[in-house]
Amino acid sequence: MMTNVSMTRQRIEPQSGAAFELRRGETLRVIDPCGEQVADLIAFGGDDRMEWLSSGRSIDYNDTICFTTGHALYSNRSRVMLTIVGDTVGTHDFLYTPCSRETFTLIYKHPGNHPSCFDNLCRHLAPFGVSADAIPTTFNVFMNVAIDGGGNVKVLPPRSRAGDYIEFRAEADLLIGLTACSAELSNNFRFKPIDYEIRRAS
């Protein structure tokens, strides 16, 4: 049987986001087109939004907080949602929550409104039936977090260069939320777009 593979490339503009469905067996490549740009990723069950990508379960079953090619990412129900099948950077974070308006108030002392991954995820996931309170810790693609021996964490500039990517294979039908992060510190104080490609077998 012949398999046709089609690729669609999309762009997420700086400090914005997207949500889309990803079917089992499809791959999602998240690309940093300019370098030093973080993308927050979250996944929910394709048919059941009560199933979501779990940082805690993924750490439990991989015995690491450093995720890269070969690692499986689990849901709160301990099922594999995504497998990392390619990674040209090798530095990502699965500890931090998506930046939110409160992040900028509490950490950055930024008064008033500020674009955030949380707001962007809320906006794009709401039409798919995901409420704000249902958004958990995101898989923060290209986010560079240093951890010292005392457990202190520090956000450093991403190691990604223009054209670097990470690629996930969907192990179930999923709803994906994805952003181009809005936090100054995470992106070396310059906001760039994020590209993504979905490879569909048809």
Side chain identity at residue 12, one-letter code: I
Number of residues that bind Zn ion (CB under 5 A): 4
CB of 24 to Zn ion, least distance (A): 28
- Among the listed ranges 14-22, 51-59, 84-92, 94-102, the one in contact with Zn ion (CB under 5 A) is 94-102
User: Greatest CA span in the chain, whole angstroms?
Assistant: 59
CB of 80 to Zn ion, least distance (A): 25
Applying CB under 5 A, does 81 fall inside the site for Zn ion? no
Report how far residue 21's alpha carbon sits from residue 185's, in angstroms, rounded to the nearest whole number: 30
Of residues 157-186, which lie at the interface with Zn ion (CB under 5 A)?
Answer: 181, 183
| Both tokens assigned to 75 | 């849901």
Whether 86 and 29 have beta carbons less than 8 Å apart is answered as yes
Those residues whose C-beta lies under 8 Å from the C-beta of residue 149, and which sit 6 or more positions away, are none
Q: Indicate which single residue of 19, 41, 84, 117 sits in contact with Zn ion (rule: CB under 5 A).
A: 117
Whether 130 and 17 have beta carbons less than 8 Å apart is answered as no
CB of 81 to Zn ion, least distance (A): 21
Closer residue to Zn ion, CB minimum distance, 30 or 99 = 99
Q: Indicate which single residue of 99, 125, 145, 174 sits in contact with Zn ion (rule: CB under 5 A).
A: 99
Of residues 24-43, which lie at the interface with Zn ion (CB under 5 A)?
Answer: none
Closer residue to Zn ion, CB minimum distance, 117 or 172 = 117
Which residues lie across from 153 on neighbouring strands? 147
Applying CB under 5 A, does 12 fall inside the site for Zn ion? no
Whether 186 and 124 have beta carbons less than 8 Å apart is answered as no
The answer to whether the Cα torsion of 148, 154, 156, 158 is positive or negative is positive
**What does the binding site for Zn ion look like in residue numbers (CB under 5 A)?**
99, 117, 181, 183
